[in-house]
Amino acid sequence: MSTAPPRPARIGIVTGAHLCRNPRVVKEASALAAAGHDVVVIGPALDDALAAEDREIAAGAGWRHRYAVDVRADAGWRGQRARLVRRAGVEATRRLGIERPEALGYGVRSLLDAARDLGADLTIGHQEVGTWVCARLARAGRRVGVDVEDWYSRHPTPDQRAAVPLGLLRDAERTALGGAAYATTTSRALADALAESYGVAAPRVVYNAFPWADREALDGRALDRPAPDGAARLSLHWVSQTIGPDRGLDLLFDGLRHVPTPVDVHLRGGLPDAHAAWLHAAFPSDVHGLHVHPLVPPGELLSRIAEHDVGLALETSGTVNHDLTVSNKILHYLLGGLAVVATRTTGQEEVADQAPEAVTLVGQGDARAMGAAIAALAADPDRLRRSKAAALDAARRRFCWERQAPAVVEAAAVALAHPAPLNPPL
């Protein structure tokens, strides 16, 4: 049973991204506001179009949103200074090996100042910037929390590591988690790994799921699959910010060469000019259909996902973080009622164990297994129907935000019932 705070508390949430690019912050803020807390989200303004989306999100919310730093083109000398400071931090880290917090994101010190000035009863950090801010607050004896959506110090690929202050980031993770009265993350596998690595209590698991209520807004339109003949073929859907190599698509394309029945592959994301030639050369178009779609607003994505039959979660284990976390992609497919074909990572195994009839796992690099999984669903309509029904059942029963939000509220209640640390972690 939860321990409620004696009064509604002020809770600050610090992130390094726009609201529209950080849905986990939006869901957390909404859950805490619905529980009666005064919630303020603090972040950066980086882009005019994204800021417009932020305004739409915050306008209907029961919480407030503030920009602590603005680096947009018309932000004036303060924005220019913030851009220069960020660039200097990255270059000091990359070229000189001098790790600076400014390399973590824009306006880290402005975000820290804003969080201090807010004087919240609990400040929760998201992403690299928020983790660093909360580590600093914890050292000052403030009550802090941290949401580890990714294992940030284990997330960069080898070609990215030189520009990331990994030692500073590991220290921030250790300090924030060690001083946290509230700690959440995206999978049991990641929670256990963080606990073992940093010698802290395992964070609560809050899957990065979407509300079941979003299904009420499904538009029922056939925009991706308008042709009757196309609707009769098995339709596979994959979504990411960018379409390109090294995202699991090579495995998919190799696997499709072992699928004799024609299927349609729908890729949603930005396709850079540099990747267009690769895509059309790699895809086996002599048998299967390829359809490329632009990204859609977040409120429309579930409707487009729900048009299809199979969701492709092609994560790799290229980094420790990629192996352990559960991406929101696989959970969105379940909510959309799609059968899922997923590569075998520790995080995706965790989902498959709880939804075995909905999720088929294939080994990374095993093109024949990928082809066999797709061919089996294409050849057996009854199996496909059972898998899609199982996906919806898993979403309703476990992998929807309505099932996850109580853990956020409970974690905050427990944190607020205890005093801020009197002996800050070193």
CA–CA separation, 232 vs 214, rounded Å? 26
CA–CA separation, 131 vs 128, rounded Å? 5
**Model pLDDT, residue 421:** 60
The pLDDT-based confidence of 423 (bands split at 50, 70, 90) is: very low
Whether the per-residue pLDDT at 424 is higher than 90: the answer is no
**Model pLDDT, residue 1:** 45
The pLDDT-based confidence of 161 (bands split at 50, 70, 90) is: confident
Q: Could you tell me the pTM of the whole model?
A: 0.91
How far is residue 420 from each of residues 122, 145, 181, 219, measured CA to CA in Å? Answer: 9, 11, 8, 47
Strand order of the β-sheet with 339-343 is 289-293, 264-270, 235-242, 310-313, 339-343, 359-362
Whether the per-residue pLDDT at 6 is higher than 80: the answer is no
**What DSSP assignment string belongs to 128-195?**
HHHHHHHHHHHHTT--EEEEESS-GGG-S-TTTGGGS-HHHHHHHHHHHHHTEEEEEES-HHHHHHHH
Say if residues 209 and 403 touch (Cβ distance below 8 Å): yes
The beta strand positions in 226-274, using DSSP E, are: 235-242, 264-270
Q: If we measure between CA atoms, which residue out of 170, 215, 200 comes closest to residue 402?
A: 215
Domain boundaries of the chain, sorted by first residue: 10-209+403-416, 212-399
Say if residues 237 and 339 touch (Cβ distance below 8 Å): no
Same fold, 10-209+403-416 and 212-399: yes
367-408 pLDDT, tens digit each:
999 999 999 999 999 999 999 999 999 999 999 999 999 999
The pLDDT-based confidence of 217 (bands split at 50, 70, 90) is: very high
**Model pLDDT, residue 299:** 87
**Model pLDDT, residue 231:** 59
How far is residue 230 from each of residues 218, 235, 291, 312, measured CA to CA in Å? Answer: 21, 8, 11, 18
The rounded radius of gyration (Å) of the Cα atoms in the chain is 22
CA–CA separation, 120 vs 143, rounded Å? 8
The pLDDT-based confidence of 418 (bands split at 50, 70, 90) is: confident
Say if residues 219 and 336 touch (Cβ distance below 8 Å): no
The pLDDT-based confidence of 5 (bands split at 50, 70, 90) is: very low
Residue type, 234: L
140-152 pLDDT, tens digit each:
999 999 999 999 9
The pLDDT-based confidence of 422 (bands split at 50, 70, 90) is: very low
Find the mean pLDDT for residues 224-228: 78
Fold of 10-209+403-416: Rossmann fold (3.40.50)
The tally of CA atoms less than 13 A away on the side-chain side of residue 327 is 21
**Model pLDDT, residue 363:** 96
Least confident of 61-65, 165-169, 318-322: 318-322
Tell me what percent of the residues of the chain surpass a pLDDT of 90.
85
**Model pLDDT, residue 187:** 97
176-191 pLDDT, tens digit each:
999 999 999 999 999 9
289-327 pLDDT, tens digit each:
999 999 998 889 999 999 999 999 999 877 898 899 998
What homologous superfamily does CATH list for 212-399?
Answer: Glycogen Phosphorylase B; (3.40.50.2000)
Find the mean pLDDT for residues 322-350: 96
Q: If we measure between CA atoms, which residue out of 323, 342, 320 comes closest to residue 331?
A: 342
Find the mean pLDDT for residues 27-40: 97
Report the chain's mean pLDDT, rounded to a whole number: 93
Say if residues 303 and 335 touch (Cβ distance below 8 Å): no
